Each structure stands twice: as structure tokens, then as C-alpha cells.
Amino acid sequence: MKTFFTVEMVVGFIESGFGFIKEKYLMMKKLKPLFIENSRVPVWLSKVAPIEIYALSFGVFVWCRFLLSPTTKRHETIHFQQQLELAFVGQWILYVLFWLVGFVIYRGDGRKAYYESPFEREAYANDHDKEYLENRPRYNWVRYIIKGSQNAEEKTKTKD
């Protein structure tokens, strides 16, 4: 019986496929959001949010009340990468679910629920690291689901 594929053909196909995936992976890591500074969007959203919103990453945009510091740009770019990993809508759904669970766990403390979200934990834990975005493993926010509290709220007081 004749075979249509040799082992070498299959291995070559897999390697070329993974090469394509690796190339797309590296390309995605380099993507950055579009920064919109001096925006009123965070001001409007702060009226209904449990925290005072300074900057917000949603889709390909980051809106900021004033000028963005390098630390805040990294923080919001980490959120942008999280959104890319989950095709945007998946991250938005999970973000709300994590916040709702935190809201129940912390007995109605929306601020604490915000800071204890794994998406925020990852961003606050690494927004000071200038090399983090270049070296960040995909789906790194998952590590923060099971990690204990990182006290992200305290880290905001030391931002530049």
C-alpha cells in the first residue's frame, strides 16, 4: 500500500506551521494601542466606576485624562496585550466576571475588587519594568488568578 505522506513531509508541515504561529506571536507582542491623551472619556466613566479612572484601555485605544507617563503607558499596553490574547471580547467578559466575583468576596468593595482582578494584578506588578512587554509570556495574567493578593492598590501610590 502506498502512502501519500512521508514522515519528512509531515514534520516539515508541522515545523512550517509552527514557524508561522511563532511569527504571528512575535508580531502580536510588538503591537501597541493608540494613545489618546487629554481625553474626557475617563472623566465620564469615573462617574459610574468604583475608582477614579485616570486611563482606560479598551480595544485598540487607550484614553487618558492628561499626558501618559511611561509607567502608565506600559500598564495600559499590558491590558492591550491581555485583550489581544482573548480576542478583545473575551477579556472584557472575564474582566467583568472577575470584578463581580471580587465584589462578592470583598463584600461590596468595588475598589478592592478592581485591584484584585488578575488583569490588574499583572499590570500593576509589572508596569514599572521597562523590559516586561518584550519578555512577557502570553497569558501571563493566568498566574495571577491563583496568586495571593499582590496589594496592587499600594503600588499605585508609587507610580511615576
Q: What tens digit of pLDDT does each residue of 99-139 get?
A: 999 999 999 999 999 999 999 999 999 999 999 999 999 99
Residues 53 and 79 both lie in one domain: yes
Rounded to whole angstroms, the Cα distance separating 114 from 17 reads 39
Question: What is the residue-wise DSSP string for 140-157?
Answer: GGGHHHHSPP--HHHHGG
Domain interval for residue 19: 1-30
Rg (the chain; Cα; Å): 19
Q: Select from 152, 126, 101, 138 the least CA-distant residue to 25.
A: 138
Question: Helix, strand, coil: what percent of the chain each, to 5?
Answer: 60, 5, 35
Report residue 35's pLDDT band, with 50, 70 and 90 as the boundaries. very high
Residues 133 and 66 both lie in one domain: yes
**Tens-digit pLDDT profile for residues 81-106:** 999 999 999 999 999 999 999 999 99
Residues 20 and 82 both lie in one domain: no
The structure's pTM equals: 0.81
Residues 14 and 67 both lie in one domain: no
Indicate the DSSP class of residue 50: S
Task: Classify 103 as helix, strand or coil.
Answer: helix
